[in-house]
Chains A and B, each alone.
Chain A
Amino acid sequence: MKYLEELKAKFGERIEEIKQLAHNQWLITVDKDILHEVVVYFLKHPEWKETQLSTMVGTDERPLRGKFSVTYWLSVNGNSDDVYIGIKAYLPADDPRFKSVTPLHKGANWYEREVQDLLGIIPEGHPDPRKLVLPDDWPSCVYPLRKDFHYSDSPQGEKYYPYREPPQGTTVHPIGPYHVALDEPAHFRLYVKGEEIIDCDYRGFYSHRGIEKISESRLTYDQICFIAERICGICGFTHSTAYCQAVEAAGEIEVPERALYIRTIMLELERLHSHLLWIGVACHLTGFDTGFMHAWRLREHVMWLCERLTGNRKTYGINLVGGVRRDFLDYRKEMIEDVLKKLKSEFGKLVDDLTSTKTFIKRCEGVGVLPYKLAHEWSVDGPLGRGSGRDFDVRRDHPYAAYGDLDFKVPVYKEGDVLARALVRIEETWESIWIIEQALDQLPGGDILAEYKEIPPYREAIGTTEAPRGENVHYVMTGPGNTVYRYRARAATYNNLPAVPDMLRGYTIADAPLIIASIDPCYSCTERVQIVDIESGKVRILKEEEFNKLSIKASRRV
């Protein structure tokens, strides 16, 4: 990679190591004092227009080398190379501090707060170092993702959360935590003057389930596929695909071609039903309930199809490390063709109705504008980014599964309002139908699952997919004995949600639900990490309590 020479020339000896992890992944280890400089150097690189902060991983590597580490993963998008760059720095165990990137790049805000919460690694100079992930009553100085913390512990603390003071002359208007636009919890505190939103504070992470910790503590490689699928209730399959890709990259497992095509078809079916769901919700929020009913009616056909193809409407459960578990038989192939035919004619009608409904257009046009500059600063992705003129798509820029062989367009709109996002999603739905048709035609024969023996420990890799909401990034560091040492899942909404306050400012309360929904937020995706919920074991009959205890005991044994 030619850019590495440039980097070496600029930073010289303070770059400790450069390593290639997979065909498109590079890991650069640098001195911790220049970490932020290197990250910003790449983010603002003039030749890489759509470079993006993809994820950031903090790892407790004390059992391995007596140090903590943080890695910023950047994806180079747009028409540049197919490259992911990890910039890693080791921090001393007794004083884990590093210079925050947030003052220079807003998109790093949540990531740095998260490592502070979960690992006790302190980003120095962070403008907003409040709690992000952990519950309000979590005691300070207890860090759940450290290796000396057992996953079933549940410490008690005092309840406290410092909300921002409302700006002068404003009133607090809370939205949530129940049922903000979509049926998931999140709390937006709008600071309003009359109807106008002046500012906004956000508190989320209510549906925090401890998926990362439980994956690192008691699950095997194949078992994690199923919990990864349950990160999200809408786009679970992209999560399990991203996880499988990460392990496959780390373990150098070659996936059979037929499995890649089956994954592609399922991913696109998922995008179809997710976008139809969103179009329905958008109609509902703009008071156009007929559109809502029609969109969900069409979606139901896709759900039924998925049930026939995989055995379940939503959590398909067909991904395993190395391939897929269920094959498409011929009669199922015909079913896909039938549904696509139906969808093509009826979706066209729905779009015509939608775009000719004045109330819908009026409610969406010019509302919740996120200009290109802000979109770049917040590192937003997916249809939200493409609606604001960012020309990228993981499927095109970093081809995975079978996307490299298929032909499709990436719709980009410059307006940055809710309507632009709606149009991006509508066009993507058409593209999805087209991708499935191609993949079905080209579906190769052969095996669907590759066998693997042992995955060497302490290898790192990331897997990325383009979920319906944007880029999903899963980082895996393999561990000894069929387990994962560190697992980090980042959902698209994690990058998109911090930008919402900027989109709300200046609009009215009535628009707030629509603006929030326009990013197609998925809170449970965003809020996966940390501690297992053992609260569920408290009430109920003895029988179950016993059972839970036993299963905790059983898993400790494993």
Chain B
Amino acid sequence: MPVTLRYPFTELEAPPEYRGLPHIDPKLCIGCGACVNACPPDAILRIDDYDRGTRKIVLDIGRCIRCARCEEVCPTGAIRLTNLFEAASPDRRDHIEVVELRLVRCKVCGNYTDFTERQVKKALQILPKEILEEEALEEKVFICRNCRRKGTVDATINATKEVVL
């Protein structure tokens, strides 16, 4: 039984189990960066721009080794390995996929925080409804780390003062 195929003169489809080119679904990506941490060859980068208030998740399939660790760790199933395998292109830029997301702007100081709006939305979604206090959330969630820390410290100091007085 011969095993030689007429590829590339005929179409070739990889089996369903095949780990092919990765692809990020921009609608699902929340920009948490779990894939960035898991990726062995640094094929995915997370680039934050605090002036413009954006986070870019940049995927370079030229560096990708198709290990599918990103697919395993993605909390929303946004990044998937397709079963496509033909990556050849005359332009290197064709290998790069960018997802741009908005960062949360701090309600207190007005600087951009280091998490995205979608991350907050996702976190709110998966938190059990019983422990949510809508009003308290509005105040606490959209604040950057520094302001939140400052707020906690101020509150503690005030509380101590009250106790002392």
Instruction: Report A29-74 residues with CB < 8 Å from chain B CB.
Output: none
Interface-located stretch among A138-146, A485-493, A518-526, A544-552: A544-552
Residues on A with beta carbons closer than 8 Å to the beta carbon of B1: 297
B68 pairs with A311, CB closer than 8 A: yes
Which parts of A512-558 form the interface with B (CB within 8 Å)? 540-541, 543-544, 547, 550-551, 554-555
Would you give the 0/1 interface string for B24-50, flagging 1 where the beta carbon is closer than 8 Å to chain A? Answer: 000000000000101011100101000
Contacts of B63 in A (CB 8 A): 547, 551
Please give the distance in Å from A20's CB to the nearest CB on chain B: 33
Contacts of A224 in B (CB 8 A): 40
Contact A541 B92 (CB under 8 A): yes
Chain A residues, CB < 8 A from B128: none
B92 cross-chain contacts in A, Cβ below 8 A: 540-541, 543-544
Q: Which residue of B lies closest to A326 (CB)?
A: B17
- Number of residues of chain B lying within 8 A (CB) of chain A: 28
> Does A502 have its Cβ within 8 Å of any Cβ on chain B?
no
State whether A312 and B2 are in contact (beta carbons under 8 Å apart), knowing that A317-B68, A543-B92, A544-B62 are contacts in the complex.
no
In the assembled complex, the CB of B145 is this many whole angstroms from the nearest CB of chain A, namely 18
What's the Cα separation between A230 and B64 when bound, in Å? 13
Segment with Cβ contacts to B, from A94-102, A118-126, A300-308, A454-462: A300-308
Instruction: Judge if A315 is at the interface, Cβ distance under 8 Å.
Output: yes
Closest residue of chain A to B65 (Cβ to Cβ) is: A226
- Chain A residues positioned under 8 Å from B3 (CB to CB): 297, 300-301
A299 to chain B, nearest CB (A): 9
CB contact between B93 and one of A300, A311, A543, A555 (< 8 Å): that residue:
A543
> A543: which B residues are within 8 A, CB to CB?
92-93, 96
Decide yes or no whether A310 CB sits under 8 A from chain B: yes
With a cutoff of 8 Å between Cβ atoms, the chain B residues found around residue A551 in the complex are 42, 45, 63
**Does A325 lie at the interface of the complex (its beta carbon under 8 Å from any beta carbon of B)?**
yes
Q: Does A223 contact B (CB under 8 A)?
A: yes
Contacts of A300 in B (CB 8 A): 3
In contact, B17 and A311 (Cβ under 8 angstroms):
yes
**B52-86 interface with A by 8 A CB criterion:** 58, 60, 62-63, 65-69, 72
Distance between Cα atoms of A264 and B8 in the complex (Å): 35
Given contacts A310-B17, A554-B42, contact A547 B67 (CB under 8 A): no
Closest to B5 in A: A300
Q: Across the interface, which residues of A come within 8 angstroms of B65, CB to CB?
A: 226, 230, 315, 317
CB distance from B71 to the nearest CB of A (A): 10
User: Smallest Cβ distance from B153 to chain A, in angstroms?
Assistant: 28
Interface string of A368-398 (1 = CB under 8 A from B): 0000000000000000000000000000000
CA distance A315 to B19 in the complex (A): 11
Verify if A227 is at the interface (C-beta below 8 Å from B).
yes
Which of A307, A310, A311, A550 makes the CB contact (< 8 A) with B45? A550
User: Which B76-115 residues sit within 8 Å CB-CB of chain A?
Assistant: 92-93, 96
CB A551 to nearest CB in B, in angstroms, measures 4
A226 to B67, CA, bound (A): 7
Which residues on the A side are within 8 Å of B69 (C-beta)?
222-223, 226
Q: From B42, which residue of chain A is reached at the shortest CB distance?
A: A551
Given known A310-B17, A555-B42, contact A550–B2 (CB-CB < 8 A): no
**Interchain CB contact under 8 A, B19 and A311:** yes
B47 in contact with A307 (CB, 8 Å): no
Residue on B nearest A227 in the bound complex, by CB: B40
Whether a CB of chain B sits under 8 angstroms from the CB of A309 is yes
- Within the complex, the shortest CB–CB distance from B100 to chain A, in Å, comes to 16
A554 touching B17 by the CB < 8 A rule?
A: no
Interface string of B1-28 (1 = CB under 8 A from A): 1110000000000110111000000000
A301-B15 Cα distance, complex, nearest whole Å: 14
Instruction: Give bound CA distance, A219 to B38, whole Å.
Output: 10
Contacts of B58 in A (CB 8 A): 547
Using known A-B contacts A297-B2, A325-B72, A554-B42, determine if residue A317 contacts B66 with beta carbons closer than 8 Å.
yes
Q: Across the interface, which residues of B come within 8 angstroms of A219, CB to CB?
A: 40
Q: How far is the CA of A317 from the CA of B93 in the complex (A)?
A: 27
State A555–B36 Cα separation when bound (angstroms).
11
Chain B residues lying within 8 Å of A310, measured Cβ to Cβ, are: 17
In the complex, the chain B residue whose C-beta lies closest to that of A342 is B1
A247 to chain B, nearest CB (A): 15
Q: Which chain A residues lie closer than 8 Å to B45 at the CB level?
A: 547, 550-551, 554
Give the complex CA separation of A312 and B18 in angstroms.
Answer: 6
B18 touching A317, Cβ below 8 Å:
no
Give Cα A88–Cα B92 distance, bound, in whole angstroms: 49
A227 to B41 alpha-carbon distance, docked (Å): 9
| A317 contact set on B, CB distance < 8 A | 19, 65-68
**Of B2, B17, B40, B93, which contacts A307 at CB under 8 A?**
B17
How long is the Cα–Cα vector from A554 to B62 in the complex, in angstroms?
17
A388–B131 Cα distance when bound, in Å, is: 72
| Minimum CB–CB distance for B109 against chain A, Å | 25
User: Would you call A550 and B47 a contact (CB within 8 A)?
Assistant: yes
- Pick the most buried of A219, A297, A310, A547: most chain B CB atoms within 10 A of its CB: A547
Contact of A547 among B2, B14, B60 (CB under 8 A): B60
Chain B residue nearest in CB terms to A300: B3
A394 to chain B, nearest CB (A): 26
Q: State in angstroms the CA–CA spacing of A543 and B58 once bound together.
A: 12
Q: Which residues of B contact A308 (CB under 8 A)?
A: 15, 17
Give the shortest distance, in Å, between B39 (CB) and chain A (any CB): 8
Expressed in whole angstroms, the Cα–Cα distance for A385 and B123 within the complex equals: 59
Most B-side CB within 10 Å, residue of A222, A310, A554 = A554
Q: Which residue of B lies closest to A310 (CB)?
A: B17
Q: Which of B17, B47, B68, B93 contacts A309 (CB 8 A)?
A: B17
Per the bound structure, the CA–CA distance linking A312 and B83 in Å amounts to 11
Complex CA–CA separation, A315 to B60 (angstroms): 20
Q: How far is the CB of B89 from chain A (nearest CB, A)?
A: 12
Question: Are B18 and A311 within 8 A (Cβ)?
Answer: yes
CA distance A541 to B15 in the complex (A): 34
Q: Which of A254-297 contact B (CB under 8 A)?
A: 297
A-B contact pairs, 7 of them (CB 8 A): A226-B40, A308-B15, A311-B68, A317-B19, A317-B65, A541-B92, A554-B45
**Chain A residues in the interface with B (C-beta under 8 A):** 219, 222-224, 226-227, 230, 297, 300-301, 307-312, 315, 317, 325, 540-541, 543-544, 547, 550-551, 554-555
User: Can you name 9 extra interface pairs (CB under 8 A) apart from A222-B38, A308-B17, A311-B68?
Assistant: A226-B41, A297-B1, A297-B2, A297-B3, A307-B18, A311-B19, A325-B72, A541-B92, A543-B96
Instruction: Give 7 nearest A-B pairs by CB, closest first.
Output: A223-B40, A311-B19, A551-B42, A300-B3, A226-B40, A317-B67, A226-B67
